[in-house]
């Protein structure tokens, strides 16, 4: 079973930190820092997704304008052309979209509404947890500890040599 976006959304909970297109960039940076996140979806006044603002975009603006970015708004530094995904999309597909678009965040949409945001860090965390679980299961299988609670009947027929039952 391949992991899906909804697995990550379930771990993260239902809160999505968003900003408005007209929010001053310094307020956006404060929001990102306060919530320890690297990006946030940008919504218009009707709550529609119009972009994504990220640390990367803010750094780019700093490199272009110098230290004076205080007059910029989220809409001035946001990415407008970004991939999106749905809760049913595979984690692999979302990771590929991130790689090819060079975005570290993908908004998750369902029926035209923003329902989440997945970051590359979320994907790495899920993949690491899955790998750890698989390693535990394999170790338990090899050592036989996955059958620790199973009682085998005393009168079970022996398995003939060669490993095949007769």
Mean pLDDT on 2-17:
89
Give 68-130 as a DSSP string: --TT-BHHHH-BSS---B-TTSBHHHHHHHHHHHT-SEEEEEETTEEEEEEEHHHHHHHHHHH
Domain enclosing residue 19, as ranges:
5-125
Q: Residue 60's domain is classified under what CATH number?
A: 3.10.580.10
Q: 150 pLDDT band (50/70/90 cuts)?
A: low
Kindly report the pTM of this predicted structure: 0.76
Mean pLDDT on 98-111:
94
58: pLDDT strictly greater than 70: yes
Residues 6+ apart with CB under 8 A from 43: 18, 19, 20, 21, 49, 50, 114
Question: What average pLDDT does the chain have?
Answer: 86
Specify whether the CB–CB gap between 25 and 61 falls below 8 A: yes
CA–CA distance, 9 with 122 (Å, rounded to integer): 9
Is residue 155 included in any domain, yes or no?
no
What is the domain count for the chain?
1
Is residue 146 included in any domain, yes or no?
no
Is residue 142 included in any domain, yes or no?
no
Is residue 24 included in any domain, yes or no?
yes
Is residue 100 included in any domain, yes or no?
yes
Of the listed ranges 13-22, 57-66, 73-82, 134-143, the one predicted with least confidence: 134-143
Residue with tokens 């369902």: 110
């Amino acid at each position: 079973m391949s992991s899906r976006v909804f697995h990550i959304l379930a771990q993260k909970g239902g809160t999505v930190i968003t900003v408005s297109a007209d929010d001053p960039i310094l307020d956006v940076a404060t929001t990102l820092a306060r919530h320890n996140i690297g990006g946030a979806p940008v919504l218009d006044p009707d709550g529609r997704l119009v972009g994504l603002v990220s640390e990367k975009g803010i750094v780019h603006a700093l490199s272009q304008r110098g230290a004076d970015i205080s007059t910029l708004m989220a809409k001035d530094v946001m990415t407008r052309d970004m991939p999106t995904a749905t809760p049913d999309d595979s984690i692999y597909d979302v990771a590929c979209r991130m790689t090819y678009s060079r975005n570290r965040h993908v908004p998750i949409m369902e029926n035209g509404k923003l329902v989440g945001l997945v970051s590359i860090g979320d994907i790495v965390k899920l993949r690491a947890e899955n790998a750890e679980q698989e390693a535990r299961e394999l170790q338990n299988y090899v050592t036989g500890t996955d059958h620790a609670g199973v009682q085998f009947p005393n009168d079970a027929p022996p398995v003939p040599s060669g490993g095949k039952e007769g």
